Structure 1
Amino acid sequence: MPARFKDICLDAGDHHALADWWCVAMGYVRKDEHEPPEGGWVRPHDWPVPIVDPKGEGPLFWIVPVPEKKTAKNRMHLDIYGDLQELLAMGATVVRGRDDEIGWDVLADPEGNEFCVFTPR
């Protein structure tokens, strides 16, 4: 049986802050707030934070705490549709701007995770 896609995981030094950043950037919410666990269970603070698209259209993201900082270029990254200026105002940084070779912008989130931003359709 072939493998199937499940979730997307992003590493973070401050996983709660990065989860909040991606929630605002993507219009996502924390899964535990959107779909509260049964029985009043509360996710421990040091566990990964799941964020979801409240419309149910996008994939589940896990923002995973790690002790090390990002040190090299991502080998895999996200491609998103978004507003470049809004993302920059939120704290993203430009890694490479669109030019004659590429028709998108390459940005980094506040922890350095790279992603490509395409003009919304």
Structure 2
Amino acid sequence: MALRPVQVNIKAVDDAAVGRFWAEALGWSAYRPGGTTYVGPSGGLVWPHPAAVCVDVVPVPEPKSATKNRVHLDLATTSAAHRTELISRLRTLGATPADVGQGDVPWTVLADPEGNEFCVLEPREIYRDTGPIAAVVVDCADPRAMARFWDEAIDWTAHEVTDDQASFRSAGGAGPYLEFLRTPGAKTVPDRVHLDLLPYPGDDKEAEVARLRALGATDLDLGQGDVPWTCLADPEGHEFCVLAPS
């Protein structure tokens, strides 16, 4: 048994507008299959996508607080010219510069129209074939501990585990990386961005949830009520959901 990351969940007051931003930012399409805005590769709605980790923008009534998200997206670029063009286009779409204490770094930190931070990376060989999302990045206190939990939680392969960083990617080597970076500060508020995981066809969702609890996940009540998915938190409190197979 194992789970696969299938989408990044982003909360927004105006999910349609934020969804359009991310569709344009990633060169994908925005779909409205229900009460959310789903952003995935163009050519028609495919869920779950076999390679990409897509974006699902979910409407909420509360705007983002001033607190920096502990989960964010890193966007890949293929050349210096591509990076310059992408940053310019993102600014035109409504992205704004963000200062999260990054100092003098070779990447650029921006925020989407509702303040969710993300990074536009300089070209890096490791991300040459990830698609537009290079990595889903999670701030944490102990990357090694996060690696132990997530290595058992999902079916992705660990690529690097050190005191400062842990990274995973799908066993097939497709799509983005999942990275845990040692970051000062502790998690204090629910995040606006989290991962959604999905069991494989034929697997028992409740058995998967029980397995995650045994690994150290805890139940999470965000006021979700009676829903078909299960909200959990990893050992450092990062929220994630286990979705019901369709």
TM-score normalized by structure 1?
0.76
Q: Does 1:68 align with 2:62?
A: yes
Report the Cα distance in structure 1 between the residues aligned to 2:29 and 2:107, rounded to whole angstroms.
26
Look up the equivalent residue of 2:10 and give its one-letter code. L
- Describe how 1:8-87 pairs up with structure 2 within 5 A: 8-31=8-31, 43-44=33-34, 47-54=35-42, 58-71=52-65, 72-81=67-76, 82=83, 83-87=86-90
Look up the equivalent residue of 1:24 and give its one-letter code. E
Aligned-residue CA RMSD in angstroms? 2.3
Which secondary structure state, in structure 1, belongs to the residue aligned with residue 20 of structure 2? helix
Bigger strand share: 2
Equivalent in 107, 114, 139 of residue 104 of structure 1: 107
Report the Cα distance in structure 2 between the residues aligned to 1:85 and 1:65, rounded to whole angstroms.
27
% identity of equivalent residues: 37
Q: Does 1:116 align with 2:119?
A: yes
How far has the Cα of 1:6 moved from its partner?
A: 2.1
Which secondary structure state, in structure 2, belongs to the residue aligned with residue 17 of structure 1? helix
Which secondary structure state, in structure 2, belongs to the residue aligned with residue 111 of structure 1? coil
Look up the equivalent residue of 1:48 and give its one-letter code. T
Which secondary structure state, in structure 2, belongs to the residue aligned with residue 79 of structure 1? strand
How far has the Cα of 1:54 moved from its partner?
A: 2.2
Report the Cα distance in structure 1 between the residues aligned to 2:94 and 2:61, rounded to whole angstroms.
21
What whole-Å deviation, never above 9, does each CA across 1:12-70 have from its counterpart, x for those lacking one? Answer: 100011111111111111245xxxxxxxxxx45xx111111127653221010011111
Structure with larger Rg: 2
Long gaps (5+) in structure 1: 33-42
Which secondary structure state, in structure 1, belongs to the residue aligned with residue 91 of structure 2? helix
RCO comparison, higher one (Cα < 8 Å, 6+): 1
> Equivalent residue for 1:36?
none
> Relative to structure 1, is the Cα distance of residues 89 and 30 closer, same or farther in structure 2, using a 3 angstrom cutoff?
closer
Long gaps (5+) in structure 2: 44-48, 77-82, 125-246
TM-score normalized by structure 2?
0.40
Look up the equivalent residue of 1:16 and give its one-letter code. A
